[in-house]
Structure 1
Amino acid sequence: MPQDGDSGGDIFGPIKRKLIETKQKWARDGRLLTGETASPAKRKLPPGQREVKNWPVLDLGSHPVVTQKEWKLSVTGLVENPVSWDWATLMAQPVFEDTSDMHCVTAWSRFDNRWEGVSARHLLSVVKPKPEAKFVILKCYDGYATNIPLSAFDDADVLLATKWEGKAITREHGGPVRLILPKLYLWKSAKWLRDIRFVDRDAPGFWEVRGYHNNGDPWKEERYG
Structure 2
Amino acid sequence: MSNTTEHRDRVPPGQTLTAGFPVLHYGDVPYYRDMGTWDLRVFGLVEEELTFSYKEFMTLPRVEYKNDIHCVTTWSKLDNVWEGVAVSTIMERVKLKPEAKFVMLHAEHGWTTNLPIEDFLRETSFFGIKHNGELLTPEHGYPVRMVVPHLYFWKSAKWLRGIEFMAKNKPGFWERNGYHMYGDPWREERYDFD
Asked if these proteins are the same fold (TM beyond 0.5), I'd say yes
Fraction of identical pairs, as percent: 46
Unaligned runs of 5+ in 2: 1-7
Task: Report the secondary structure of 2:37's partner residue.
Answer: coil
Matched, 1:135 2:129: no
AA paired with 1:52? Answer: T
AA paired with 2:113? Answer: T
Unaligned runs of 5+ in 1: 1-41
Q: Which has the higher contact order (CA 8 A, sep 6+)?
A: 1
Quick check: which one's strand share is greater? 2
Query: What is residue 32 of structure 2 aligned with on the other side?
Result: 66
In angstroms, what is the RMSD of aligned CA positions?
Answer: 1.5
Query: What is residue 15 of structure 2 aligned with on the other side?
Result: 49
Give the counterpart of 1:116 among 58, 80, 83.
83
Query: Within 5 Å, which residues of 2 pair with 1:5-44?
Result: 43-44=9-10
CA distance in 1, matches of 2:95, 2:79: 31
TM-score under structure 1 length normalisation:
0.79
CA distance in 1, matches of 2:26, 2:65: 27
Aligned residue-pair number: 185
Query: What is residue 36 of structure 1 aligned with on the other side?
Result: none
Query: What is residue 27 of structure 1 aligned with on the other side?
Result: none
Query: What is residue 152 of structure 1 aligned with on the other side?
Result: 119
CA distance in 1, matches of 2:67, 2:98: 29
Listed one character per residue, the Cα deviations across residues 33-81 of structure 1 (whole Å, up to 9, x for unaligned) are xxxxxxxxx7331000000011000001410123533211000111234
**Which 4+ stretches in 1 moved above 4 angstroms?**
none
CA distance in 1, matches of 2:135, 2:48: 29
TM-score under structure 2 length normalisation:
0.91
When structure 1 is superposed on structure 2, of 46-55 and 203-212 the one drifting more is 203-212
CA distance in 2, matches of 1:207, 1:157: 23
Query: What is residue 59 of structure 2 aligned with on the other side?
Result: 92
